[in-house]
Amino acid sequence: MARLARDFYARETLTVARDLLGQRLVRLVRGQELAGRIVEVEAYIGQGDAACHASRGRTARNAVMFGPPGVAYVYFVYGMHHCVNAVTEPAGRAAAVLIRAIEPLVGLDVMRRNRMGRTGVELTNGPAKLCYALEIERDLNGADLVSGQALWIERDRPVPDADVARGPRVGVRGDERALTAPWRLWVREHPYVSRARTTGRRM
DNA sequence: CTCTCGATGCGCT
DNA sequence: GCGCATCGAGAGA
């Protein structure tokens, strides 16, 4: 399967987010391939987006968002979890797509071990869960998804418009626009989409 | 099923 | 010090 190229990521973030649905996230670890189909994403769009880590300017943590597209932005949050993004738009514009859920396709036995014996949707139905399953940690921050040998995205099965659902992002803080913008995209009715919490979530 | 709450590291104010 | 782009255990219904 063909890897997504640099120009795929260089486009407008919402377009990239929408087109990432259905594609295959691949991780190579200890010679073993782990892969899953992307079924839920969120767009974080530049310094004007109050929920985007880059909204208050460039720092050591968010630096890769300001760089070239097609690079992994991995961050550590809540003192124990990692989340992974694909950097979008031309260098200088800080934006990225958070990968929130995948459907496991390859290496389920390894993912199960990485998830302490959990199975089914619990393997990868959340942004931190999928990072545990695929062994994605901060050493992959800045990894090149286009030419790297540890993490990349392949073209798989595009999702038709009729199957794409949209809504507000999960767990974000910020201004009214950040809380209400429908920049979370997912595959409608897909079982691996993360559980939308009814509390602790602001809209 | 729903909801609450604690864990825990670190970048930023 | 504060507050997180979260998760999972535990309680209650």
- Do residues A24 and A130 make contact, with C-beta atoms less than 8 angstroms apart? no
Which of A196, A203, A199, A195 shows the shortest CA–CA distance to A173?
A203
Q: What is the pLDDT of residue A203?
A: 35
The nucleotide minimizing the C1' distance to residue A56's CA is B12
Spanning CA of A61 to C1' of B12, the rounded length in angstroms is: 10
Quick: pLDDT tens for A15-49.
999 999 999 999 999 999 999 999 999 999 999 99
- The C-alpha angle with vertex A145 and arms to A50 and A40, in degrees rounded to 5, equals 50
What number is the average pLDDT over the span A142-149? 98
The nucleotide minimizing the C1' distance to residue A128's CA is C6
- Rg (Cα) of chain A, in Å, rounded? 15
Predicted TM-score (pTM) of the model is 0.96
Spanning CA of A128 to C1' of C3, the rounded length in angstroms is: 18
Quick: pLDDT tens for A63-119.
999 999 999 999 999 999 999 999 999 999 999 999 999 999 999 999 999 999 999
Spanning CA of A157 to C1' of B9, the rounded length in angstroms is: 38
Nucleotides of B under 7 A from a protein CB: 2-5, 7-13
Closest residue, by C-alpha, to the C1' of B9: A79
Q: Quick check: A199 pLDDT over 70?
A: no
Sequence length of chain A is: 203
Quick: pLDDT tens for A171-188.
999 999 999 999 999 999
The percent of residues above 90 in pLDDT, for chain A, comes to 95
Spanning CA of A76 to C1' of B6, the rounded length in angstroms is: 18
Q: What is the pLDDT of residue A201?
A: 37
SS3 assignment, position A174: coil
